[in-house]
């Protein structure tokens, strides 16, 4: 007989907002140093990107120079501190990489492209519109893909093995997926107790995955260890919790909601034998 593995433990390392006047801070991704990339809602109604460095310092607002509609968000960060994000111009959505102060637009054959994740090689993943699909760009080659029978697909995070995770909708089910570098798709990935609503947002090089699930208790963060076992997490006192990225040191960036808005936090997960 084999003893059941003990559930992992979670330790809150930091909780933060972008500023007192911008209480809606959405952490999107975290690199191995602990730098967190995300976006926040300004009092004016605009959306702006930001980076929270591992020492707690916050960058200034990150705005694409061609933005015209007051929306510039940051979705991903790698270990070289290359950022990926999006902006709106003439009511159309565009994506970019930002490295060393230089913006480089990312496009596919689709009318609109939004990049959600970037790895250390500069390979990215995301979503396209017209055609509607998830996509990866690996080694400069863009590949669009969908889960059979689905109506919506989004690739949300990519690791250094070029594995990406995300979610798809096949009414009435929303479930997670993993795409390996060779194109192999693993789906549906769901958490026990939430067979119809599980979304994956991040994956590290060990294969640990994070995301969100919905059950009778509401919107809750979920962690999958490399074996596929899942553990649900709720930020203390929050009305909802979402994991959005995980690095190779077990640090997870996340958000939670309470009566004062949306806030970001960092938690460390430790696996137990």
The pLDDT-based confidence of 1 (bands split at 50, 70, 90) is very low
pLDDT at 32: 98
| 58, pLDDT greater than 90 | yes
Give me the chain's average pLDDT, please: 93
pLDDT at 2: 38
pLDDT tens digits, 202-252: 999 999 999 999 999 999 999 999 999 999 999 999 999 999 999 999 999
**Where are the chain's structural domains?**
9-261+264-268
Question: Is the pTM here over 0.85, yes or no?
Answer: yes
Mean pLDDT score, 10-27: 86
Residue 240's SS3 state is strand
Cβ count within 10 A of residue 91:
7
Say whether domain 9-261+264-268 belongs to CATH 2.120.10.30.
Answer: yes
The pLDDT-based confidence of 22 (bands split at 50, 70, 90) is low
- HEC string of 143-201 equals EEECCCCCCEEEEEEECCCCCEEEEEEECCEEEEEEECCCCCEEEEECECCECCEEEEE
For 240, phi then psi, to 5°, come to -160, 155
Mean pLDDT score, 131-151: 97
CB 112 within 8 A of CB 132: no
Q: Which two tokens stand for residue 135?
A: 């996509």
CB 71 within 8 A of CB 91: no
CA atoms of 142 and 55, how far apart (whole Å): 36
Could you tell me what percent of the chain has a pLDDT over 70?
96
| 4, pLDDT greater than 50 | no
pLDDT at 240: 97
């Amino acid at each position: 007989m084999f003893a059941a593995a003990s559930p992992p433990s979670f330790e809150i390392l930091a909780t933060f907002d972008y500023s007192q006047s911008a209480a809606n801070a959405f952490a999107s991704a975290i690199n191995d140093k602990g730098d967190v990339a995300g976006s926040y809602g300004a009092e004016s109604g605009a959306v702006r990107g930001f980076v929270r460095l591992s020492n707690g310092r916050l960058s200034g607002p990150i705005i694409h120079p061609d933005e015209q509609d007051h929306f510039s968000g940051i979705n991903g960060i790698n270990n070289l501190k290359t950022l990926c994000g999006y902006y709106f111009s003439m009511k159309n959505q565009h994506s970019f990489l930002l490295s060393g102060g230089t913006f480089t637009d990312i496009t596919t054959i689709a009318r609109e492209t939004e990049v959600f994740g970037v790895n250390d090689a500069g390979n990215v993943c995301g979503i396209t519109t017209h055609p509607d699909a998830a996509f990866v760009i690996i080694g400069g080659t863009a590949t669009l893909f969908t889960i059979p029978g689905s109506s919506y697909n989004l690739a949300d995070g990519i690791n250094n093995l070029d594995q990406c995770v995300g979610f798809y909708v096949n009414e009435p089910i929303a479930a997670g997926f993993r795409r390996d570098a060779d194109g192999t798709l693993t789906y549906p990935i769901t958490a026990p107790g939430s067979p119809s609503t599980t979304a994956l947002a991040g994956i590290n090089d060990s294969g640990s995955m994070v995301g969100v699930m919905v059950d009778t208790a509401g919107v809750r963060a979920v962690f999958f260890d490399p074996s596929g076992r899942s553990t649900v997490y709720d930020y203390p006192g929050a009305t909802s919790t979402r994991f959005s990225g995980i690095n190779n040191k077990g640090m997870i960036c996340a958000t939670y909601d309470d009566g004062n808005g949306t806030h970001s936090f960092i938690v460390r997960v430790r696996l137990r034998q």
